């Protein structure tokens, strides 16, 4: 009998715990929730486990403060780090979260050398680059979660504006996970119909702007934290694609090696996501305006990467 997949989530805060919830409910595998705060991962894991008889899942869910409990994982997810507060940019978190991601990655890869690693910690594009360098793994096995979340926000805003089901809206966001992200209006559809058949250009531009600032909008409302339901759901979708080898076409923060004319940088791009991780990067033909926006987004990520490269 095949064993169940083993998933480690580092960081038992709101995002990590919510991701664990989505994954347990989808019965993706046994879950280890790890955090340095004593009692926090154990308590949340026990609470989640006890929801199994009600929600109808039988996955094992355990909490731990040490990294030994993560040994032999198939999928590693890093959510640990300092969350944004009102007035902070993702880049404000750079130095603190770099130290966290570096040390966590070292602990994880030593104990699960054959796993696939997903990073959520902000600034996610830079932290994914850090994890890739520290791990020494092939780029296919290290990625960040951002494009699914950004695209979901764009889809939700379009559905609200048009007054249709979110299920019938498709959209794609490229680039870095920040204000320089690139929502591709040309690839946004409602039931297969281009959105410019439903909305005028000023309305579409307003949705694009709101998507770029989507995380900040939530931070300003919560005041003491950042988004966690949608990021957790996005992580679960990635885990589902990888652990069930679905070959999903999804936007993720991937290491580029010549794609889109860029090299040695992490960018949100559409990929084929399966058991091998990022199995293929899909290159789109971008219009001049889109390519210029993508280049600006690349520059916004290259700068912080350059500032920390000597530390890796």
In the prediction, which pLDDT does 25 show?
Answer: 97
Q: What is the pTM of this model?
A: 0.95
pLDDT < 50 positions in the chain? 1
In the prediction, which pLDDT does 84 show?
Answer: 65
In the prediction, which pLDDT does 39 show?
Answer: 98
Give how far the C-alpha of residue 218 lies from the chain's centroid of Cα atoms, to the nearest Å.
17
Give CB contacts under 8 A, 24+ apart, made by 202-206. Answer: 203/161
In the prediction, which pLDDT does 297 show?
Answer: 96
In the prediction, which pLDDT does 82 show?
Answer: 81
* Residues ≥6 apart with Cβ < 8 Å to 183: 150, 154, 171, 172, 173, 207, 208, 211, 212
Give all domains of the chain, ordered by start, each with its CATH number.
Answer: 6-144 (3.40.50.720)
In the prediction, which pLDDT does 88 show?
Answer: 65
Angle between the 214-222 and 147-162 helix axes, to the nearest 10 degrees? 80
Query: What is the 3-class SS of the chain, one letter each residue?
Result: CCCCCEEEEECCCHHHHHHHHHHHHCCCCEEEEECCCCCHHHHHHHHHHHCHHHHCCCCCEEEECCCHHHCCCCEEEECCCCCCCCCCCHHHHHHHHHHHHHHHHHHHHHHCCCCEEEECCCCHHHHHHHHHHHHCCCHHHEEECCHHHHHHHHHHHHHHHHCCCHHHEECCEEECCCCCCEECHHHCEECCEEHHHCCCHHHHHHHHHHHHCHHHHHHHHHCCCCCCHHHHHHHHHHHHHHHCCCCEEEEEEEEEECHHHCEEEEEEEEEEEECCEEEEECCCCCCHHHHHHHHHHHHHHHHHHHHHHHHC
State both tokens at 67: 């990294």
What's the CA dihedral at 241, 245, 248, 250 to 10 degrees? 50
Active site residue ranges: 177
């Amino acid at each position: 009998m095949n064993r169940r997949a083993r998933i480690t989530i580092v960081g038992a805060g709101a995002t990590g715990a919510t991701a664990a919830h989505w994954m347990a409910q989808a019965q993706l595998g046994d879950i280890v929730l790890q955090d340095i705060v004593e009692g926090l991962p154990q308590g949340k894991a026990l609470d989640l486990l006890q929801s199994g008889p009600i929600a109808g899942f039988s996955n094992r869910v355990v909490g731990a403060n040490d990294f030994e409990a993560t040994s032999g994982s198939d999928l590693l997810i890093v959510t640990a780090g300092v969350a944004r507060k009102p007035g902070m940019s993702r880049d404000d978190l750079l130095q603190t979260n770099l130290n966290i991601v570096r040390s966590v990655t070292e602990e994880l890869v030593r104990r699960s050398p054959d796993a696939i690693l997903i990073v959520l910690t902000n600034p996610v594009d830079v932290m994914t680059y850090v994890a890739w360098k520290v791990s020494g793994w092939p780029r296919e096995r290290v990625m960040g979660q951002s494009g699914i979340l950004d695209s979901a926000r764009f889809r939700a805003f379009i559905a609200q504006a048009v007054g249709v089901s979110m299920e019938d809206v498709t959209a794609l966001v490229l680039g870095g996970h920040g204000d320089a992200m690139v929502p591709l209006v040309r690839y946004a559809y409602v039931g297969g119909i281009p959105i410019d058949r439903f909305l005028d250009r000023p309305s579409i531009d307003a949705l694009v702007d709101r998507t770029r600032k989507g995380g900040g909008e939530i931070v300003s409302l919560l005041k003491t934290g950042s988004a966690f339901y949608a990021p957790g759901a996005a992580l679960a979708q990635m885990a589902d694609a990888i652990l069930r080898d679905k070959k999903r076409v999804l936007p993720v923060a991937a290491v580029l090696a010549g794609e889109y004319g860029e090299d040695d940088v992490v960018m949100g791009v559409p990929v084929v996501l399966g058991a091998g991780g990022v199995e293929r990067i899909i290159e789109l033909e971008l219009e001049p305006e889109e390519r210029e926006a993508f280049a600006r987004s690349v520059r916004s990520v290259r700068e912080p990467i350059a500032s920390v490269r000597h530390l890796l």
